[in-house]
Structure 1
């Protein structure tokens, strides 16, 4: 009887050995499934810059009346005001308004040129932002170029406040 149990145990071991992930001496390699590309933590316009810190605010939409705002520290040296960026953060995000986090990566999103305009969209927005009071956080509601009047019409929305239209001459 003991021989039967020994033979059954040996058969189980042989069976389990045959279920290993790769035969001995094979070129089989386990590969991990590719993770989807990591999305940026926030994408929006840089509405203000203080040294290496930038204030990124998402544009408003019909369904979102208030833009998400984040002060991002440790941004690479650049003139960021007015540009549309993707930001990846490094570390925890302080949940305040605006939120706060250090940058891991900041990448400018290329915008297409506007036909008939001399200024770029980011240059026009940067110019419009000079009319915004320092303590106000605003989001972009709309940016339009009027070729007939040769000017930019930029609508900025205070968070939980009124909209303000700023006209910028295209020069």
Structure 2
């Protein structure tokens, strides 16, 4: 019997719930820093959100799949997809961190992100003169030595491990 077709149990339901809330919290924090904290994301920051945007609804389906005892391959397959999304997110976070630390070059078109939609009452052309788009090679903030990209890499690694364990771990 393949690992992905082994019967599922509450382990997979709990795993899917952890991933659902973990992914939602991670991207929610990023959105909070942007919309509440005023941090303008660079191109690489925005790219790092896509695995979460795809992963959150997939993990919601995984929760339903496990809870309603849909075929085991479906639940485990969704958890595997979540793990792969988090590995991709890990790659993006490590790549962006490396760009910030100057270990390798970032994309040449970074720093040409759209300006914020709130122009503070000024016209769009006036706002363009005052808003400096963020560069991918400068960390907006470091907490305990890690930038947002570094913390995304840490979160992605933890979520990937959880997802792999749920996909291939014991069931019933």
For the aligned pair, the TM-score class normalised by the smaller chain equals under 0.3
Question: What's the TM-score once normalised by structure 1's chain length?
Answer: 0.23
**Greater radius of gyration (CA):** 1
Q: Which of the pair has the greater relative contact order for Cα pairs under 8 Å at 6+ separation?
A: 2
Question: What's the TM-score once normalised by structure 2's chain length?
Answer: 0.23
